[in-house]
Amino acid sequence: MSRRGMAARNQRSEALSKDRIVEAAIALLDAGGAQALTFRALAARLETGSGAIYWHVADKNELLAAATDHVVARVIADIADEADPRAAIRAVALAMFDAIDAHPWAGPQLFREPWRSSMPLIFERVGAPLMALGLTGRRLLDSASALVHYILGVAGQNAANPRLAPQDVDREAFLAHVAAQWMQLDPEAYPFVHQTALQMRDHDDRAQFLFGIDLILAGITR
């Protein structure tokens, strides 16, 4: 922590640091999912011992939170500025959707300890355009909250879906399987599910997600 410590860290060859650890953790998570992040695998990749990692990181929770923050912060920062508030909200929503699609392990983490992680960043990017739309007070907070909950809800849900093959082959087979299951349900007890099963098979996650955003925006601004 002192000047001394920081100087030492820079001169030891390939010294450990929280940044290097988080970077390696993200690489492991992206490559093999949540279960691929273990302190042993991490130590092997960093060519050190598991004990050394604990000098820089309190525990696995903190490591996962830091990895998620890292990913979310970068994605949020990369969002292009939009003049129209509605477009700005759509941009944030899509950015989060794509981020969790690319890093599915981050979805559950955003639920586990929401207050700790980059939640304020997300709330800000959703809430600021709502202020520009003229919302204030309780309605402002509640509307932002609805949008953020919806965004994270869809993102978390999608993260649970099996990983997509490059050719989308697995995805189609998977959706067909679920649709078949839904259609086997009793049409009298499950009229809605039975009827919409086919459309479910062909639906586009991204488009459906955006439809929901527009639904909420319509409710907010009507």
Q: Which residues bind DNA (CB under 7 A)?
A: 1-13, 15-16, 37-41, 43, 46-52, 54-56, 59-61
Judged by beta carbon distances under 5 to 8 A according to partner kind, the member of a second copy, DNA, none in contact with residue 56 is DNA
Query: What are the DSSP calls for 161-215, one per residue?
Result: SPPPPTTSHHHHHHHHHHHHHHHTS-TTT-HHHHHHHHHHHH--HHHHHHHHHHH
Q: Is 33 in the site for a second copy (CB under 8 A)?
A: no
Contacts of 203 (CB under 8 A, 6+ apart): 175
Residues comprising the chain, all counted = 222
Minimum distance, C-beta of residue 191 to a second copy, in the bound complex (Å):
6
Angle at 164 between CA 40 and CA 35, to 5 degrees: 15
Tokens of 97: 């959707």
- Per-residue mark of binding to a second copy, 107-146 (x: CB under 8 A): xx--xxxxx----x--xx--xx-xx-----xx-xxxxxxx
With tokens 């093999």, the residue in question is 32
Judged by beta carbon distances under 5 to 8 A according to partner kind, the member of a second copy, DNA, none in contact with residue 8 is DNA
Contact set with a second copy (CB under 8 A):
107-108, 111-115, 120, 123-124, 127-128, 130-131, 137-138, 140-146, 149-154, 156-157, 159-160, 178, 181-182, 185, 189-193, 195-196, 199-200, 203, 208, 211-212, 214-220, 222
